[in-house]
Chain A
Amino acid sequence: MAYQPPKQGFVGQIVDVAVLLVMTVGALYIPLYLGLAGAAKTPRPIENPTWEALGQNAAEQAQWQALGIADPAAASDIVTARFDYSFSWAALLVMAVLVIGYFVLVVRLSDKEYRDVIAERFDRK
């Protein structure tokens, strides 16, 4: 016999939508809002910067000026900012486990559900 799902009331639907919203905002937006997530790019300022000290040739200086930045001091933070790509292997391992574990979890649970779907679709005839 085909599975008959329960009927979900209006309040239940609202609660489900609220749960999804809380998960979305909680997992993705709140870490950004609290400054817990973000790019690790930091400037390495130099004292009394000149275009030459910043490694900018004549053509590049003209480009900076066309972009409205005529003072090397104003460009210093942009030119010297770099990402820090040092990482720990443990952190990389955690990431790999999370990504692979997530797909394994989803595919295995999906397979269980899929067999119900196929059984109901093809066995009930």
Chain B
Amino acid sequence: MTLSSAEPTVQAQASTQGGERLQLLRVLGPGHVWALGVGIVLVGEYMGWNFAVGKGGMIAGLVACWLAGLLYTCVAMIDSEVTSTVAAAGGQYAQAKHIVGPLMAFNVGLFLVMAYTMLEAANAITIGFLLDTVAGLQGHSGLHQPPFIVLTVVFLAWLNYRGVLATLTFNLVITAIAFLAIILLFVSVQLGASHVPLDFSAISTDPLPYGWLGILAALHFGLWYYLGIEGTCQAAEEVRSPARSLPYGTMAGIMTLLIAATLTWYVCSGLIPWEYLGQAGTPLFDAARVTGSTPLMVLLFIGTIFSTLASANGCINDASRAWFSMGRDRYLPSWFGAVHPKYRTPYRSIVFLVPIALIFALGAPLDQVVTFSILSGLLGYTFMTFNMVMFRRKWPLGTIKRGYVHPFHPFPAILLLLICAATYFAVFLGYGSQLIAMMCFYILASLWFHFWRYRFVRRGDQFTMPWPRPQGC
């Protein structure tokens, strides 16, 4: 695998089995990386983040937004350094393979697949819910949601099946429109477009309905504002210049999301009673409803649909590439490691993950699906902390070429670990059973991999970077 290649044509190389091994196309620029990251995450402003308000109140929701922003700043700093150096499909999965070991890589691959597949399911649920709401507003209550959920997942899977460039260009456009919708809502409300005034009196009358514990509890869903931004590095093998484009796209994405998250909290908290906001399915659309402005309602309806489509689209892209990478390395059956002969996409992985997304989209409540996604993301962020420390210890600065070196090491890793620990406790408050179920799943999967699946893995092939031997090994 030639990581420095910028050749935008299909490459083929002899595989170890003597056949032709097709590779993914290097066609993506920084704009696509931004769109992939923000496209997946922007939906966090359109749904899910507001459960943080439900867990702790308005102030807790804002504090959670900023604390989570701090967490993701650490994630972006760490991820930019490691990803710009280990630029291979699978992102953190490839990092774990080279830095910690195969079992960790298998787990990280599963974190990515589960986080993105659950997020995809949450997006499909939101689309069904939104269409039901709008149908109700038009006097057609009781819309049957499942067909729309299935249609969403299957259509986007088909789009991904056909090709990554078309898919992410599509994402770039609809993400930009969804982001613009939030800005327009904020500006319109500030200019007095709302028939109902902004009201923040709950901040003084009921500032912390759960006390200080509520702030900690709210951190659980605070992650939803940004969850998935690290997905930028999933397409590392398809980026023309990973060392430059990946850090740039990720950092630009974090800045975009910090702005959008703050604006979203401000508008929604001012227009919607916090008790309603804490359990709403589509908070930004609800905020537009409260303004009484039909154009804003239409705009936020489009924004919600576009953000969920962009997110689900990016999730399918990322989850399938993580699954594909694991298949290619035989961590999973090698059948999944195939690239489509015409479209150059990991088509078998794309198709395989469709029914898993549908099981949860059709059969689980939104907050539970969101929690599963958050938990998988959280486990991945925890991994990043010791992965970063091990990376610097095994290959100190100067021993290998890094695309980007993040400052203040190990402070970001320590801070990230502390916020992760607080978030585990936050999930434990109210959703402890999901946390235990998730941990049992990963422990079982780890034992299965180590004692069974690993026998099919070629040992030496797990280290493909042109680096010197790691120190201490």
* Inter-chain contact A106/B104, CB cutoff 8 Å: yes
In Å, the complex CA distance between A5 and B459 comes to 9
Least Cβ distance of B422 to chain A in Å? 13
* Inter-chain contact B469/A122, CB cutoff 8 Å: yes
* Inter-chain contact A95/B435, CB cutoff 8 Å: yes
* Inter-chain contact A33/B429, CB cutoff 8 Å: no
* Inter-chain contact A85/B217, CB cutoff 8 Å: yes
* Inter-chain contact B382/A103, CB cutoff 8 Å: yes
Least Cβ distance of A60 to chain B in Å? 5
In Å, the complex CA distance between A40 and B216 comes to 16
* Inter-chain contact B436/A98, CB cutoff 8 Å: yes
* Inter-chain contact B450/A28, CB cutoff 8 Å: no
The residue on A at minimum CB distance from B105 is A110
Q: Which residues from B are CB-within-8-Å of A109?
A: 101, 103, 446, 450
In Å, the complex CA distance between A19 and B452 comes to 11
* Inter-chain contact A8/B199, CB cutoff 8 Å: no
The residue on B at minimum CB distance from A95 is B428
* Inter-chain contact B332/A16, CB cutoff 8 Å: yes
Task: With A5-B458, A29-B364, A120-B459 as known contacts, state yes or no: A113 contacts B444, CB within 8 Å.
Answer: no
Say whether B213 faces chain A, with CB atoms less than 8 Å apart.
yes
Q: Mark A89-125, 1 if CB is under 8 A from B, else 0.
A: 0011011101100110111011111111111111010
In Å, the complex CA distance between A9 and B448 comes to 18
Q: Mark B177-197, 1 if CB is under 8 A from A, else 0.
A: 000000000000000000111
* Inter-chain contact A67/B289, CB cutoff 8 Å: yes
The residue on A at minimum CB distance from B209 is A82
Task: With A5-B458, A124-B460 as known contacts, state yes or no: A113 contacts B364, CB within 8 Å.
Answer: no
A81's contact among B101, B275, B424, B462, by CB below 8 Å, is which?
B275
* Inter-chain contact B101/A113, CB cutoff 8 Å: yes
Least Cβ distance of B55 to chain A in Å? 6
Query: What is the total number of residues of chain A having a CB less than 8 Å from a CB of chain B?
Result: 77
B197's contact among A36, A59, A112, A118, by CB below 8 Å, is which?
A59
Q: Which residues from A are CB-within-8-Å of B444?
A: 23, 27
Say whether A55 faces chain B, with CB atoms less than 8 Å apart.
yes
Say whether B166 faces chain A, with CB atoms less than 8 Å apart.
no
* Inter-chain contact B356/A107, CB cutoff 8 Å: no
Say whether B276 faces chain A, with CB atoms less than 8 Å apart.
yes
Q: Which residues from A are CB-within-8-Å of B356?
A: 21, 24
The residue on A at minimum CB distance from B371 is A39
Task: With A59-B201, A95-B424 as known contacts, state yes or no: A83 contacts B210, CB within 8 Å.
Answer: yes
In Å, the complex CA distance between A83 and B196 comes to 29
Say whether B439 faces chain A, with CB atoms less than 8 Å apart.
yes
Say whether B372 faces chain A, with CB atoms less than 8 Å apart.
yes
In Å, the complex CA distance between A37 and B462 comes to 38
In Å, the complex CA distance between A6 and B456 comes to 6
The residue on B at minimum CB distance from A119 is B459
In Å, the complex CA distance between A10 and B209 comes to 57
* Inter-chain contact B102/A113, CB cutoff 8 Å: yes
B428's contact among A2, A16, A33, A92, by CB below 8 Å, is which?
A92
Question: Interface on B for A, CB 8 Å cutoff?
Answer: 54-55, 96, 100-105, 107, 114, 137, 195-197, 199, 201-202, 205-206, 209-210, 213-214, 217, 271-273, 275-276, 279, 286, 289-292, 330, 332-335, 352, 356, 359-360, 363-365, 367-368, 372, 382-383, 386, 424-425, 428-446, 448, 450, 453-460, 462-463, 469-470, 473
Question: What 8 pairs between A and B have smallest CB-CB spacing?
Answer: A110-B101, A114-B101, A13-B333, A27-B441, A59-B199, A120-B460, A37-B433, A110-B104
24 interchain pairs, CB-CB under 8 A: A5-B455, A13-B335, A16-B332, A24-B356, A24-B441, A27-B438, A27-B441, A29-B363, A39-B430, A39-B431, A55-B205, A83-B210, A84-B430, A85-B217, A98-B439, A103-B386, A112-B101, A113-B101, A113-B102, A113-B450, A114-B473, A117-B102, A118-B463, A118-B473
